[in-house]
Structure 1
Amino acid sequence: MSTNRSGETARTGLGSIDSERFDAMAAVGGWRGVVESVVPTLVFVLVVAVRPTALVPALAASLTVSAVGLAARLVQRQSLAQVVGGIVLVLVSALWAWRSGAASNFYAAGLMINAAWLVACLVSLLIGWPIVGALMTLWHRVADESGKSEGSDGSEEQEETNVPDDVGAARPSAWRTDPALRHVKLRYHAGTWVLTLMFALRLVVEVPLYLAGEQAVSYLGAARLILGVPLYALTLWFIWLLVAPSRIARTEARTDQR
């Protein structure tokens, strides 16, 4: 997480869709997060493009860049939560490519992760718990429980709300079963479809390039970069337009007035 200009804590990743204001740069981890996620792949792509047979040097350069980023965070005593996942992915990808001797396998783990997310999104839609709605429900439930624990220290706040405890706990997931909140449900479904399409687009573009073998590895690397952070930020913005708290609140307000 980071702090935006208004002093509020800006969430990263999918957490950014539950913010009142969307900060694209904060959503992808800031400039540092972009560098840490993009540069290792960019270095690999450039080395392979210049010298297609230099697989080991390309892998070594990519791992070195990731290691430098990790070391910098350790020296500055910053949280490693944001960078560890990327480093693990680069390490697994490098080992896969090295063991197989095929540069294209540097991207295989990423393809599998996108396929897993695509399946998860589709399953969540089928069972009526779209991932976007499930995440929003979880965040709001945690916020409600946190608010209750803080309010327990002051009896006046609890008396002012005058709302039974079970109502507050059930409210975050009411969109699933309450016909009056079907518009909210549709927004969560639409948001999940946007996320699903992002993963599908990546696979549609990258899988044929991966199957084409070593002659297409540079194109595969370019596709990975273009369909990585830029597409992710754009996807999060579209989802935020659909499910931002203020938009959901206005939808519920219009429903209550009918």
Structure 2
Amino acid sequence: MGTFFLGVLASVVAALFLSLMAYLLGFGRASLKDARYAWQVTRRLRRNGILNFFANRSEYVKHRKNGTIRDYLRTAEHSISYVGFWLAHGVEISNIGHELASLAKEGKFVEVVLLNPKSELIPALSTYLNLPEPSVVKRINDALSHLQQARDSLPADHAHLFRLKLHSQLLTASAFLLDTNKPGAKVLVDFKLFGSDRDNTFGIEFQELDKTTPSSLSQRVTNAYRKISSSARDFKPPTSTHSNNVI
């Protein structure tokens, strides 16, 4: 509740500041109207659980309190779920598998849902991401191998806390869901643009607040990704070490 009121207070202060500046600078009624409109937009964003916006990948570090992916995941108190393609940024750049295993070892539930490398969607995804099909399949398989090794490093009594799953759903955005169904739950959605490299993605962060309505955008986003997770199946490691395809 305190977070909500702080957000509203910040919106009010911002609106008053803009109104005062418009008055002092002599911008007249049009500027005062713009200030009121900005305040209304801010209220609507917060009502729908929109916490932050990132125009490109570099802004995640610049404009997020916990800039790196490791620091961000560490804000979760109960659970971490990723639903997307192959967790590219985390696996290829941040070696995130061991961090996820460490979180599971601390008793937090970890779930990673990647695209099935044998999905019929691979050609379309390849075109969308401007990557060759073999490269897309290899990246998914490499991610699965990396994450499975991290999961295998867990003690037997913690392995069940780290679930690795495969989906076959059409996506153009991936998401991290932290502490779903808990107070202060957050969702970070990273949108991929057609034909653009990964540094040109943009993101929106949502957080459930006390006054967030059940039909809010943040709740609808959460439900959509949870449906994909629910329909996904558990990943089963290959029996042959010579296979180029993990499933």
TM-score, reference length from structure 2: 0.30
Decide which structure has the larger Cα Rg and report it.
Answer: 1
**Greater percentage in helix:** 1
TM-score, reference length from structure 1: 0.29
**Greater percentage in strand:** 2
